[in-house]
């Protein structure tokens, strides 16, 4: 059973578990857990996905109950009109207190719409919530620095947050594509769980029919508590705003 955060005649918004695909795909033939099919069976209605969350990402996920509402919401997600998303992540290193990442992204190979290379403007904001250390020696250091951050994508590009955090040298822990494999494995062994530590925590959007501004929140998964046992750093971390260059 999925945790349904909001349901009316037009929308179904759920709390997606980490490790579930949004829908079936030939790229992951061995997977058996799909949000679309489970939600359809749970509410007894056809549903249309409005946006995507990666398989490893948990949190707020929006479905429409008709193709027309899906089209309207798809346009809003593309333009960002009346839309704000906030994510929580655990990253390697100690980022600055806050910053803007302004870094254009190439379309990924399976998302290309033409044969010509497409580069799209992309911006994300981050704010560091907590810094801590893991008892994992890495690259000559006695411990591994990590941080919990809030992330706000200002544009909607594929893997945007994952790619942007890699760009500023603070990859998300558990990211097999854009992170560090040896570190991911060491952290998984330490805490006893392997996942992408990225969670879609809140979403604000304008209802496509009523025009009402909705705010949906997904509580942090219970496994997020595994990080609470790791201590704050004993030395002064970086402070102040930071901006990544536009490339």
This prediction has a pTM of 0.90
Which of 226, 204, 203 lies closest to 59 in space, CA to CA?
A: 203
Q: Tell me the pLDDT tens digit for each residue of 214-232.
A: 999 999 999 999 999 997 7
d(CA 123, CA 104): 8
What CA–CA distance (Å, rounded) separates 159 from 172?
11
Domain containing residue 46: CATH number:
3.30.2350.10
Q: Residue 78 corresponds to which tokens in the numbers above? A: 């593309």
Known active-site residue 54: yes
Q: What is the pLDDT of residues 100-113, one digit of tens each?
A: 999 999 986 655 55
Where in the sequence is the domain holding 240, given as residue range(s)?
Answer: 3-244
**Is residue 10 a contact partner of residue 69, using CB atoms and an 8 Å limit?**
yes
Report how far residue 36's alpha carbon sits from residue 48's, in angstroms, rounded to the nearest whole number.
8
Rounded distance between C-alpha atoms, residue 148 and residue 92, angstroms: 9
Query: pLDDT at residue 247 above 50?
Result: no
For residues 97 and 109, the answer to whether their CB atoms sit within 8 Å is no
- Residue 150: pLDDT over 50: yes
Mean of pLDDT over the chain: 89
Q: Identify the sign of the CA torsion 30, 32, 33, 39.
A: positive
pLDDT of 236: 57
- Residue 102: the pLDDT is 98
Q: Is residue 228 within 8 Å of 85, Cβ to Cβ?
A: no
Q: Point out the catalytic residue in the list 9, 54, 175, 189.
A: 54
What does the pLDDT read at residue 70? Answer: 95
Q: What is the mean pLDDT of residues 130-138?
A: 93
Q: Where are the beta strands (DSSP E) in 20-143?
A: 48-49, 58-64, 84-92, 98-102, 105-106, 119-120, 123-134
Among the listed residues 126, 230, 144, the one whose alpha carbon sits nearest the alpha carbon of residue 185: 144
pLDDT digits (tens, 9 = 90+) for 169-193: 999 999 999 998 999 999 999 999 9
d(CA 118, CA 128): 31
Number of domains in the chain: 1
| Interatomic CA distance for residues 154 and 124, integer angstroms | 5
Which residue is it, tokens 């399976």? Answer: 110
């Amino acid at each position: 059973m999925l945790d349904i955060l909001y349901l009316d005649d037009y929308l179904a918004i759920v709390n997606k578990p980490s490790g579930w695909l949004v829908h079936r795909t030939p790229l992951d033939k061995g997977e058996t857990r799909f949000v679309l099919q489970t939600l359809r069976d749970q509410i007894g209605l056809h549903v249309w996905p409005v946006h995507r969350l990666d398989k490893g990402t948990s949190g707020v996920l929006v479905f429409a109950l008709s193709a027309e509402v899906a089209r309207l919401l798809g346009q809003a997600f593309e333009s960002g009109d009346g839309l704000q998303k906030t994510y929580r992540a655990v990253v390697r290193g100690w980022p600055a207190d806050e910053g803007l990442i302004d870094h254009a992204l190439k379309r990924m190979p399976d998302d290309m719409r033409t044969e010509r290379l497409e580069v799209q403007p992309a911006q994300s904001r981050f704010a560091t919530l907590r810094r801590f250390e893991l008892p994992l020696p890495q690259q000559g250091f006695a411990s591994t620095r990590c941080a919990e951050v809030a992330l706000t994508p200002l544009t909607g590009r594929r893997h945007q947050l994952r790619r942007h955090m890699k760009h500023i040298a603070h990859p998300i822990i558990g990211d097999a594509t854009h992170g560090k494999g040896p570190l991911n494995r060491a952290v998984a062994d330490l805490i006893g769980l392997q996942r992408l530590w990225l969670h879609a925590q809140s979403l604000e959007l304008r209802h496509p029919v009523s025009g009402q501004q909705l705010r949906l929140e997904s509580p942090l998964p219970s496994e997020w508590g595994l990080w609470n046992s790791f201590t704050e750093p004993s030395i002064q971390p970086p402070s102040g705003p930071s901006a990544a260059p536009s490339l």
